């Protein structure tokens, strides 16, 4: 089936949505590879799914709740042990506003 | 008695340990020696943990001395490196998590440790479990013990190669689209993907949450039943875990398949499947028939759409799950960036490898405005049709039997530049994850000196029927006794 190719702008737009840094080589390679992969997906459009509900999960478990009991959470030291940057008991982030 | 300690199955090792002919420490040391000798050629381990292993082995020996030893006490195992191990790096074979040391154990790790199984190290894998050859590991590829110029399959290539080469008695892997079964097939061992929800995913690094399942890789079917029984069962920390107590799976190993109804879906023996592999499967089916099973051809017409469904749903879920790697809480962090946005972009650009980036981009695209209905929602609807098709088939059949992989192990480098070709490696295993049903791969013969796997698919929670079928076949054949020369 004839299928349109992604443009470099489209690839950069998807990367921006995800905040994924890509260099120009990566943009070009991904443009080609994603276009090829998407072309293989178009066959799905020929399947009749009228009145077919979507499946998100194969196990029909709904509203799984735990008892409302208290428990001791993981110590803050453990939680912060892998933090690239911390300040006291907080994760430190870089400036959000430029 | 087997000539080398590293060739033992769990049941063989158990009887030596229980008769005090070998200690857990000696058995562990034998596996650590084996790793030292051959892992430079195989590459199954991201990390080896000798001190911790010998400490656990001593605890196992104490339990054995107390007469308090279960079936796994003192048995050396390897854990795929996407399951959290407290105090031991868990990398997912990614630069992103190269220095991540989890503050807690995955439920499966906790359960095995409580039973005094001995972890000797962590298994190499395709980065974040995305791949079919273990070539996507950011560190090094794993090699197939039957031919080190070939891939072991993936993404659990390390766990499969470790078992096949005698570096661990068993391993734990994870399977999102075939990542336990396809490497088990290519390495000539047994691997099962349980029913979705049977084994807790707590502490498994998430890839595609509606498809991921943990399962054992073992040398034979009996070992598979033993390990599955140890890790299965509900866990309040995983809300998708099925509330049930697992049965004694070893009780299912009766050797009797008389009257068992086996469906053979013709789509799995068609174009794209190596004819020599399909022939091997036909011989295996003839063997099962000779044991009293009733074998009949059937059809699952939506099979050809499963690959597209999977490569929309799994990357979509992955793009959501992997958004957590922002360089703030843990993992690689680009500290040289100016502001927050640049830091996020650089962190992902440097932390993720090419296949992970490809799938994140694919998933983000499929979920983005204007494409959601055409891709993601459409795939979820076709998923419903695929699930129904399996449900209907299981009205008529107890199990379905197919090849696990369309080919035997391929050469390193053969498919790594062509993602579409690589994705086709999972064409026989992917529909099973989409339907959420259980399936096992077990050795069923050789083509050109390389192992061929038979896939046995069962009803939801039909693990016992799968094990019974596999065990009966295994008892009637010699494939599971073959070991590679290394």
B327-355: per-residue pLDDT in tens? 999 999 999 998 999 999 999 999 999 99
Which A residues 28-47 touch B at CB under 8 Å? 29-30, 33-34, 36-38, 40-41, 43-45, 47
Residue of B nearest to A58 (CA): B436
Report whether pLDDT(A63) > 90: no
pLDDT at A31: 97
| Residues of chain B contacting A56 with CB distance shorter than 8 Å | 210, 380
Phi, psi of B89 (to 5 degrees): -50, 140
B299 is catalytic: no
Residue of B nearest to A96 (CA): B340
Report whether pLDDT(B12) > 90: yes
Report whether pLDDT(B73) > 70: yes
Does the distance separating the beta carbons of B344 and A19 come in below 8 Å? Answer: yes
As a residue count, chain B comes to 486
Does the distance separating the beta carbons of B381 and A49 come in below 8 Å? Answer: yes
Q: Residue B315: in which H helix or E strand, if any?
A: helix B306-321
| Residues of chain A contacting B100 with CB distance shorter than 8 Å | 82
Q: Determine the average pLDDT of the residues in B74-98.
A: 98
Q: Does B345 touch chain A (CB under 8 A)?
A: yes
Please list the alpha-helical segments (H only) found in B232-270.
none
Three-class DSSP category at B375: helix
Q: Which residues contact B389 (CB under 8 A, 6 or more apart)?
A: B300, B301, B302, B435
Does the distance separating the beta carbons of A36 and B420 come in below 8 Å? Answer: yes
Does the distance separating the beta carbons of A93 and B380 come in below 8 Å? Answer: no
Task: Write down the catalytic residue from B23, B93, B137, B155.
Answer: B155
Interface test with chain A among B175, B315, B357, B361, by most A beta carbons within 10 Å? B361
CB B185 within 8 A of CB B445: no
Nearest-Cα distance to chain B for A81, in Å, is 8
Q: Determine the average pLDDT of the residues in B244-257.
A: 96
Q: Does B234 touch chain A (CB under 8 A)?
A: no
Q: Quote the tokens at residue B132.
A: 């079919």
Does the distance separating the beta carbons of B327 and A33 come in below 8 Å? Answer: no
User: Angle of helix B354-367 relative to helix A24-41, nearest 10 degrees?
Assistant: 60
pLDDT at A57: 81
pLDDT at A59: 78
* Nearest-5° Cα angle at B78, B72 to B81: 135
Of B100, B196, B340, nearest to A58 by CB-CB distance is B196
Phi, psi of B445 (to 5 degrees): 140, -175
What is the spatial distance between Cα B371 and Cα B387, in angstroms, rounded to a whole number? 24
| Residues of chain B contacting A74 with CB distance shorter than 8 Å | 103-104
Does the distance separating the beta carbons of B309 and A20 come in below 8 Å? Answer: no
Strand stretches in B364-426, DSSP E: 399-403
What is the spatial distance between Cα B342 and Cα B321, in angstroms, rounded to a whole number? 20
Interface test with chain B among A6, A13, A20, A62, by most B beta carbons within 10 Å? A20
Does the distance separating the beta carbons of A21 and B368 come in below 8 Å? Answer: no
pLDDT at B44: 98
**A66: confidence class by pLDDT, cuts 50, 70, 90:** confident
| Residues of chain B contacting A36 with CB distance shorter than 8 Å | 419-420
CB B78 within 8 A of CB B31: no
Report whether pLDDT(A1) > 90: no
B155 is catalytic: yes
Q: Which residues contact B137 (CB under 8 A, 6 or more apart)?
A: B46, B93, B124, B125, B126, B127, B157
CB B186 within 8 A of CB B482: no
Nearest-Cα distance to chain A for B423, in Å, is 10
| Residues of chain A contacting B419 with CB distance shorter than 8 Å | 33, 36-37
Does the distance separating the beta carbons of A74 and B196 come in below 8 Å? Answer: no
pLDDT at B1: 39
**B360: confidence class by pLDDT, cuts 50, 70, 90:** very high
pLDDT at B181: 98
**CA end-to-end span of chain B, whole Å?**
21
Nearest-Cα distance to chain A for B129, in Å, is 19
B80 is catalytic: yes
Of B210, B311, B460, nearest to A57 by CB-CB distance is B210
| Residues of chain A contacting B213 with CB distance shorter than 8 Å | none
What is the spatial distance between Cα B11 and Cα B112, in angstroms, rounded to a whole number? 16
Chain segment B257-289, per-residue pLDDT in tens: 999 999 999 999 998 999 999 999 999 999 999
Q: Does B103 touch chain A (CB under 8 A)?
A: yes
Report whether pLDDT(B400) > 90: yes
Q: Does A84 touch chain B (CB under 8 A)?
A: yes
Q: Does A18 touch chain B (CB under 8 A)?
A: yes
What is the spatial distance between Cα B301 and Cα A49, in angstroms, rounded to a whole number? 14
Q: Which residues contact A18 (CB under 8 A, 6 or more apart)?
A: B319, B323, B348, B360, B361, B364
ipTM: 0.94
Strand stretches in B67-199, DSSP E: 76-80, 118-123, 170-175, 190-193
Three-class DSSP category at B148: coil
Measured on CA atoms in the order B2, B8, B13, B15, is the torsion positive or negative?
Answer: negative
Looking at every residue in chain B, the average pLDDT score rounds to: 96
β-strand partners of B97: none
Q: Determine the average pLDDT of the residues in B389-416.
A: 97
Q: What is the pTM of this model?
A: 0.97
B196: DSSP letter? T
**A65: confidence class by pLDDT, cuts 50, 70, 90:** confident
β-strand partners of B199: B232
Q: Does A55 touch chain B (CB under 8 A)?
A: yes
What is the spatial distance between Cα B289 and Cα B283, in angstroms, rounded to a whole number? 10
What is the spatial distance between Cα B20 and Cα B15, in angstroms, rounded to a whole number? 8
């Amino acid at each position: 089936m004839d299928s349109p190719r992604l443009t470099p702008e489209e690839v950069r737009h998807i990367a921006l949505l995800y905040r994924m840094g890509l260099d120009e080589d990566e943009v070009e390679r991904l443009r080609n590879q994603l276009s090829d992969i998407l072309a293989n997906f178009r066959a799905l459009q020929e399947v009749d799914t009228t009145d077919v509900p979507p499946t998100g999960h194969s196990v029909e478990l709904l509203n799984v709740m735990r008892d409302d009991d208290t428990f001791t959470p993981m110590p803050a030291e453990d939680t912060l042990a892998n933090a690239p940057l911390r300040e006291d008991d907080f994760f430190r982030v870089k400036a959000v506003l430029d | 008695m087997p000539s080398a300690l590293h060739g033992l199955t769990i049941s063989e090792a158990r009887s030596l340990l229980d008769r005090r002919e070998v200690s857990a420490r000696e058995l562990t040391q034998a596996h650590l020696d084996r790793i030292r000798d051959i892992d430079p050629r195989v590459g199954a381990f991201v990390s080896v943990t000798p001190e911790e292993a010998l400490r656990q082995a001593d605890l196992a020996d104490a339990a054995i001395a107390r007469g308090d030893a279960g079936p796994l006490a003192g048995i050396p195992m390897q854990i795929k490196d996407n399951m959290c191990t407290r105090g031991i790096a868990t990398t997912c074979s990614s630069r992103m998590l190269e220095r991540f040391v989890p503050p807690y154990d995955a439920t499966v790790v906790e359960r095995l440790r409580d039973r005094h199984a001995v972890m000797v190290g962590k298994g190499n894998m395709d980065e974040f479990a995305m791949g079919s050859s273990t070539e996507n590991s950011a560190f090094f590829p794993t090699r197939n013990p039957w031919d080190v110029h070939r891939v072991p399959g993936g993404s659990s290539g390390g766990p499969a190669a470790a078992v096949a080469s005698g570096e661990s008695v068993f391993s734990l892997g994870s399977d999102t689209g075939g990542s336990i079964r396809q490497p088990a097939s290519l390495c000539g061992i047994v691997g099962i993907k349980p029913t979705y929800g049977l084994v807790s995913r707590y502490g498994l690094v998430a890839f595609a949450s509606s498809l991921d399942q943990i399962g054992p890789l073992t040398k034979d079917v009996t070992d598979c039943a033993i390990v599955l029984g140890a890790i299965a069962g509900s866990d309040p920390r995983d809300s998708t875990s099925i509330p049930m107590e697992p049965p004694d799976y070893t009780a299912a190993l009766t050797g009797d398949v008389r009257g068992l109804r086996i469906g053979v879906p013709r789509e799995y023996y068609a174009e794209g499947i190596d004819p020599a592999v399909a022939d091997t499967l036909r011989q295996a089916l003839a063997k099962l028939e000779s044991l009293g099973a009733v074998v009949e051809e059937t059809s699952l017409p939506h099979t050809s759409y499963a690959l597209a469904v999977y490569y929309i749903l799994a990357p979509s879920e992955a793009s959501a799950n992997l958004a957590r790697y922002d360089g703030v809480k843990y993992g690689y962090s680009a500290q040289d960036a100016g502001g927050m946005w640049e830091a996020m972009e650089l962190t992902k650009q440097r932390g993720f490898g090419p296949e992970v980036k490809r799938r994140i981009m694919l998933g983000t695209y499929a979920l983005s405005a204007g494409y959601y209905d055409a891709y993601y929602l459409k795939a979820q609807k076709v998923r419903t049709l695929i699930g129904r098709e399996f449900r209907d088939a299981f009205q008529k059949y107890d199990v379905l039997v197919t090849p696990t992989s369309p080919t035997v192990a391929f050469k390193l480098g053969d498919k790594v530049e062509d993602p579409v070709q690589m994705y086709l490696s999972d064409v026989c295993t992917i529909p099973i994850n989409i339907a959420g049903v259980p399936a096992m791969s077990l050795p069923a013969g050789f083509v050109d000196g390389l192992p061929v796997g038979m896939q046995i698919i069962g009803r939801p929670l039909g693990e016992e029927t799968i094990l019974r079928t596999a065990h009966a076949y295994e008892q009637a054949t010699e494939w599971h006794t073959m070991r590679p020369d290394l």
